[in-house]
Amino acid sequence: MAPPSKVRPRTRIQREKQDVILNAALDVFSLHGFRGATIDQIAEAAGMSKPNLLYYFSSKEEIHRRLLEDMLDLWLDPLREFDAAGDPVSELRSYIRRKLEMARDFPRESRLFANEMLQGAPHAIDVLAGELKALVDDKAGVIESWMREGKITRTDPYHLIFSIWATTQHYADFDVQVRAVLGPARGGEGRFEDAARYLENLFMHGLVPKG
């Protein structure tokens, strides 16, 4: 018989310790990826001993899985808010802005996700093929209905969603490149607003029916 699983700590102090570990692990995983990260690195970044860390999480795998679960839930929120009853242009503009805000506010989470994808998504494939696919199928259906009603021009709804993901997430995963190329004059916080205006124009120009 397998030993009973460890009950996750519940006191306020223990939850705070878990948050410290998760925050430190996010730094380590986003920098080194799952394979390159070690429990010792995470413990050092968290400012605690390895045995103390293992009291709260039993393994590197458990920490990584918890981070991915939290990140994927956050990642899906803007898509969940896609409103079929809303104006398509407003909904799409809002979605682009929300994704850019996430690139700005959660760059480590974005890199964690990118690293997982580059490794073949061994710890996230169930969510990708399950919850994420179901949500994208649903929202692709919403976009398809807007197209049938003539509210936006016809295109492939899945590749439209993929394109929004790719262009917005670029500003998190390749932020060093973006800032270096833009230079000091344009590489500050205003780069996200510049990107939002450009991407809105890019997508809306192709989606708003002519005339």
Residue 1 domain-assigned? no
Q: How far apart are CA 124 and CA 131, in angstroms?
A: 11
Residues 73, 168, 123: CA angle, nearest 5 degrees = 40
Give the pLDDT confidence of 126-179 residue by residue, as tens digits: 989 999 999 999 999 999 999 999 999 999 999 999 999 999 999 999 999 999
Give the pLDDT confidence of 76-90 residue by residue, as tens digits: 899 999 888 999 999
Same domain, 53 and 81: no
Residue 98 domain-assigned? yes
**Residue 47 region by backbone torsions, left for phi larger than 0, else alpha for psi between -120 and 50, else beta:** left
The yes-or-no verdict on residue 1 having pLDDT over 50 is: no
Q: What's the pTM value of the predicted model, to 2 decimals?
A: 0.85
Lowest mean pLDDT among 3-12, 71-80, 88-97, 130-139: 3-12
Q: How far apart are CA 148 and CA 48, in angstroms?
A: 58
Burial of 46 (0-12, 13-18, 19+ CB in 10 A): buried
Query: Quick one: DSSP state of residue 48?
Result: S
- What mean pLDDT is reported for the chain? 90
Element of type H or E holding 168: helix 157-173
The yes-or-no verdict on residue 3 having pLDDT over 70 is: no
Per-residue model confidence (pLDDT) at position 188:
87
**Final residue belonging to a domain, choices 58, 76, 96:** 58
The CA distances from residue 172 to 8, 81, 97, 114, 177, in Å, are 32, 22, 14, 10, 10
Residue 4 domain-assigned? no
Give the pLDDT confidence of 24-51 residue by residue, as tens digits: 999 999 888 899 999 999 999 999 999 9
Q: What is the CATH number of the domain that holds 85?
A: 1.10.357.10
Provide the number of structural domains found in the chain.
2
Pair 18, 9: CB distance under 8 Å: yes
CA 1 to chain CA centroid, Å, is 38
Per-residue model confidence (pLDDT) at position 33:
87
Q: Which amino acid is at 119?
A: Q
Q: What is the CATH number of the domain that holds 40?
A: 1.10.10.60
**Residue predicted with more confidence, 107 or 210:** 107
Residue 178 domain-assigned? yes
The yes-or-no verdict on residue 5 having pLDDT over 60 is: no
Same domain, 96 and 197: yes
Residue 3 domain-assigned? no
Per-residue model confidence (pLDDT) at position 2:
41
Same domain, 81 and 118: yes
Could you list the residue range(s) of the whole structural domain that residue 124 is in? 67-207
The yes-or-no verdict on residue 6 having pLDDT over 70 is: no
Q: Which amino acid is at 63?
A: I
Helices (H), 37-129: 39-46, 50-56, 60-80, 88-105, 107-118, 125-127
Per-residue model confidence (pLDDT) at position 8:
53
- For helices 39-46 and 12-36, angle between their N-to-C axes, nearest 10 degrees: 140
Q: What tokens does 202 get? A: 């890019």
Look-up: residue for tokens 């197209």?
147
Name residues whose C-beta falls within 8 Å of residue 40's C-beta, 6 or more positions apart in sequence. 50
Q: What tokens does 199 get? A: 């991407």
Per-residue model confidence (pLDDT) at position 75:
86
Per-residue model confidence (pLDDT) at position 64:
94
